[in-house]
Amino acid sequence: KYDLAEGMTIREIVKLLRAGAVVNYKATFPEGWTFKQWREKLMGLPHLKQNIIGMSNLEIAEIIGIKGDVEGWFFPDTYYYNFETSDLDLLENAHKKMKEIIALEWSKRSDEKTLNSPYDAIILASLVEKETGYGPDRAKIGSVFLNRLRDKMRLESDPTVIYGLGDSFDGDLKKRHLRSDNPFNTYTRFGLPPTPIASPGRESINVVLSEVKSPYYYFVAMGNGRSYFSKTYREHLAAVKRYQLGNSGRTQ
């Protein structure tokens, strides 16, 4: 598809065609989106060939070359496409970029090596991404999860529970949800969830692999997008009382 202007001469049109200056469109996929959100976005993009409609996530994974679950394997970014591009093409580009980013960041990882594989890094980075409401808090949130992993503590992350609830979640996380066991409930199970819970951005990946040190093991939302971090459970309880009394914000 080419963008021709009224009044263009044959010479100008031929020059445009020879240059291959096709019309491009762009699609932005934010950090922290689930693959379900990616699919919904793809379905609504104009001038994009729709090939994945009716396909299961497993079928998409097999075509693209992903072993296992597709969640988290697509790098959040702005992508450009033209009239001949398909949704599978766009996903393949996003997957290729995620593989490149995780490989580069893994090669520069900390000597601590708390995480066992690049996939573990994507999983933990997805938790950091979903927990971050204020960018500068990202490193501290990552340090809390890493400290807990090292000390064999449960991660206790609300977003993992919400992800595990799937379509049954109505927006109101209750205590019974935290107590109901499933593979993604990090309140009832130790270690990382089985898959990422979203597509993490590069900053979150970098945070978990650089393993920034901190003395913190807990954090609580302050209600302004930022978090309050605590070293001890006693301090954390006081912070919860101060910032979350009467609210339902996340606490770790």
| 104-148 pLDDT, tens digit each | 999 999 988 899 999 999 999 999 999 998 999 999 999 999 999
- pLDDT on residue 186: 98
Query: CA 100, CA 103: separation in Å to the nearest integer?
Result: 5
DSSP 5: P
Task: State the distance between the two ends of the chain, measured CA to CA, in whole angstroms.
Answer: 51
Identify the H or E element spanning 39: helix 35-43
Residue 49 has pLDDT above 90, yes or no: yes
- pLDDT on residue 20: 65
* CB environment 132-159: b (16+ within 10 A), e (fewer): bbeeebbbbbbbbbbbbbeeeeebbbbb
Contact 203, 125 (CB under 8 A): no
Mean pLDDT, to the nearest integer, of 154-170? 95
- pLDDT on residue 7: 79
Give the residue, 106 or 224, on which the prediction is more confident. Answer: 106
pTM score of the predicted model: 0.88
Q: Residue 239: CB partners within 8 Å, gap ≥ 6?
A: 218, 220, 228, 230
Q: pLDDT class for 70, splitting at 50, 70, 90?
A: very high
Percentage of residues in the chain having pLDDT higher than 70? 93
